[in-house]
Chain A
Amino acid sequence: MTDTKIAKMTAKDVHVFYGDNHAVKGISLDLHQDEVTALIGPSGCGKSTFLRCLNRMNDTVATCRVEGKITLDNEDIYDPSIDVVQLRARVGMVFQKPNPFPKSIYDNVAYGPRIHGLAQSRTDLDEIVTVSLEKAGLWNEVKDRLDSPGTALSGGQQQRLCIARAIAVNPEVILMDEPCSALDPIATAKVEALIDELKGRYAIAIVTHSMQQAARVSQKTAFFHMGDLVEHGDTTDIFTSPKEERTRDYITGRFG
């Protein structure tokens, strides 16, 4: 497939090893601004692993080794001169299970801006928190109880709180690892609407096990299998006329 636009993030021939386990085998994939890329594939095929390479969260796993080249705005993120902390502020992540900090709703969202010194004053911070919660579609539900603990929210609200927390640091890329797998259909719909909302401003990659979700929210889809990137391209193409046998089998539910 051909890309005319300049990619926000590119991965070139990325290999990941957990000790001797070769989990990701030479994946090349681009993420674009204004686009949602869905990563699909059977369990254990390396979707999360690949995603976690993009903000170097794999550094926290002692046995993990990454090879290949990943760039953000043409900068190699595995270059020794790169500040990982800064990188993660630019590439935000939302996890499969909502993981709000045991702090107030306000402090959850303010956490990132505070450590990065994004707000000059309390009013600035209030502004950031409000805007982030609004973008995450949570503002109306929590505006009267910003002081109550984030852990006291419902699962769907918690997940949107985590998204608000991620966008509060003003990232350029947002990685989501099965953000809806712990949510009911209504909360899922809200998060999907939110992703749609967000796609204009951020490059988004989302891992999902739901074909429908991938079809609904993404413009690009990448199908992973056993650590290989089998096929990737426009979501409509992948779902209507997959080129590969394995892709077809997977999206029609014949294996996986």
Chain B
Amino acid sequence: MTSSAIFLILVLLSLVSFAMTRQKALTRAGGDPAKLHSLPRHYGYFAATCVLLPSFFAFGIWLIFGKSIIEGLIVSGLPDRLFEVGTDQATLVLNRIRLVVENASSPETDPDILAAAQKFNDLYIRGIWAAFALSVSFGLVGFYLASNRTQPDFRARNKFERIMLIALALSSVIAIATTLGIVASLLFESLRFFHEVPVTEFVFGLHWSPQTALRADQVASSGAFGAVPLFAGTLLISFIAMLVAGPIGLLAAIYLTQYANTKMRKIAKPMLEVLAGVPTVVYGFFAALTVAPFFRDLGITLGLDIASESALAAGIVMGIMIIPFVSSLSDDAITAVPKSLKDGSLALGATPSETITQVVLPAALPGIVGAFLLAVSRAVGETMIVVMAAGMQPKLTANPFEAVTTVTVQIVALLTGDQEFDSAKTLSAFALGLALFVSTMALNVIALKIVRKYREVYD
């Protein structure tokens, strides 16, 4: 009996109860649907949810807690001999057991472990049957109750509506709770980091070199955690990106909204959207393999010293990536300007370009600013292009020809590879993540505020 089989059976059960209740409602009404408060199918829906919800609930409990309960039972039954080395051994022993459970041909020889694995399997099979029985009986009880209430005057439609409402509300609660959970874990881990490294060093320190301390007694095991070079690098690259995306995106939006004919728009808009759909890793290797070498070679011919991984290359490619973002948001802002304003200007004898620069753009300005801010927060959070094209050097420089690194790249660098989880190095990733989160969120909030405020003016 596998979980998916049980799942299927429960769904079948609810389908059956749907059909039966629907029929029953009709029968109770003497075959005349008009006598029922709700449509027959609403009684069916109601019954189906009455079956599904409790049985899924029971089964879900098993899925979430079943394994750990069994493991707890088994570990407590193991001989002390296995735990000699220390308390941490419990997870290790458990892992050995798990290995045997998952892979029958594993090289485990310890008879106690083998026995435990055997026991685990037995318990698991019993557990799953129990869970099955329990969830089916929950479902049957639900069916029984729903079936009992299937009277012509029962307001199945409203009841079902309520159940749906609760389900929808629960979904949004889950979304919100997840977000809060992520933020909380960021905060919590960052606090741990700030226990080891003072906030002031993190915020104002000019030197970033998180050391890999493989052993605790290693020399220079604690590094420098000044995040300024990372934020400077992020700003530099985002700035270059906006230099590219801002004008091009805005001008493209102006062209598409004001000058292009319908046919042109029909072709150009989807093309821009395709640009937005290209995975960032593709931009990344475009940056690393085409653009960065191009600038290096260009630098050589011009006598400039351009690194083969440069902020310039990464920034430009990132700019290309966010062009569609800027253009489609500016497009929205510009199209939201009422046509009557434009007509008013044209009717006064203004040329199209005068109309655009003096009436349309000023009216759309808040929306455009919002679009730019959202684009900046996109650029700040972008990782892949920078990883591949801008290098890893936490250098504090304003020179776009040098390799720099950004917050996101450092987070990747900190968390990939073998890490000791609670070292300052690993924890610093959370602090960086928190800083990044706070800054992009602030940008987004401001941008959305501006955009919304401006919408209200014309709606």
A-to-B contact residues, CB < 8 Å = 55, 57, 60, 62, 85-90, 92-93, 95, 97, 99-103, 111-112, 115-116, 162, 165-166, 169
Contact B348 A99 (CB under 8 A): no
How many chain B residues touch A (Cβ–Cβ < 8 Å)? 21
CA separation between A98 and B261, bound complex, in Å?
A: 28
CA separation between A60 and B347, bound complex, in Å?
A: 11
Indicate whether A166 sits within 8 Å of B348 (C-beta atoms), given known contacts A99-B338, A101-B359, A102-B362. yes
Contact A95 B344 (CB under 8 A): yes
Among B261, B347, B351, contact of A92 (Cβ-Cβ < 8 Å): B347
List of B residues within 8 angstroms of A97 by Cβ: 340
Any chain A CB within 8 A of the CB of B345?
A: yes
Indicate whether A101 sits within 8 Å of B349 (C-beta atoms), given known contacts A62-B261, A62-B262, A111-B358. no
Q: Which residue among A87, A92, A97, A115 has the maximum number of chain B CB atoms within 10 Å of its CB?
A: A115
Nearest Cβ in chain B — how far from A178, in angstroms?
13
CA separation between A62 and B359, bound complex, in Å?
A: 21
CA separation between A57 and B340, bound complex, in Å?
A: 12
Nearest Cβ in chain B — how far from A56, in angstroms?
9
CA separation between A154 and B457, bound complex, in Å?
A: 15
Any chain A CB within 8 A of the CB of B341?
A: yes
Any chain A CB within 8 A of the CB of B123?
A: no
Any chain A CB within 8 A of the CB of B36?
A: no
List of B residues within 8 angstroms of A169 by Cβ: 348-349
Contact B340 A99 (CB under 8 A): yes
Identify 17 residue pairs between A and B in the complex whose beta-carbon atoms are under 8 Å apart, listed by A's number.
A57-B346, A60-B346, A85-B349, A85-B350, A85-B351, A93-B347, A95-B340, A95-B344, A97-B340, A99-B341, A99-B343, A101-B341, A103-B362, A111-B358, A112-B348, A112-B349, A169-B348
List of B residues within 8 angstroms of A100 by Cβ: 344
Among A62, A86, A90, A101, contact of B345 (Cβ-Cβ < 8 Å): A101
A165 nearest CB neighbor, chain B only: B348
Indicate whether A115 sits within 8 Å of B344 (C-beta atoms), given known contacts A85-B349, A89-B349. no
CA separation between A112 and B346, bound complex, in Å?
A: 10
Contact A116 B349 (CB under 8 A): yes
Any chain A CB within 8 A of the CB of B32?
A: no
Nearest Cβ in chain B — how far from A60, in angstroms?
6
Contact A55 B340 (CB under 8 A): no
